[in-house]
Amino acid sequence: MAVTVEDVKRIAALARLEFTAEEEERLTGELNSILLYMGKLNGLDTDGVEPTSHVAPVANAFREDEPEEFAHVEELRAQAPEMVEGYYKVPRIIE
């Protein structure tokens, strides 16, 4: 299944992203390359290969969850399409 420019436009609209026509073409090509590579990987014979979740053996290293002040709040708010009383306003998705 190939990705089309229309697919990229639809995904961009869902994510509320805006791309130029050149970016849409580039992203279409990149996504198709990724899907082609995934198809090649899907065809590999993995019988006898032990499943792993990490390349190297690692263990969970938990730390205390300590809140911190974030210094760039205003920069993030400036990028939001719409704010209401200090909160991000997003389209309703559940009726």
Residue-wise pLDDT for 7-16, tens only, equals 999 999 999 9
Residue 9 confidence (pLDDT):
98
Predicted local confidence at residue 61, as pLDDT = 81
CATH number of 1-46: 1.10.20.60
Q: Residue 6 and residue 28: Cα distance in Å, rounded?
A: 9
The answer to whether 24 and 9 are in contact (CB under 8 A) is yes
**Domain ranges for the chain:** 1-46
pLDDT at 38 (0 to 100): 95
The rounded distance, in Å, linking the Cα atoms of 53 and 42 is 17
Q: Give 17-61 pLDDT, tens digit per residue.
A: 999 999 999 999 999 999 999 999 999 999 998 888 778 887 888
Model pTM score: 0.55
User: How many whole angstroms separate alpha carbon 8 and alpha carbon 12?
Assistant: 6
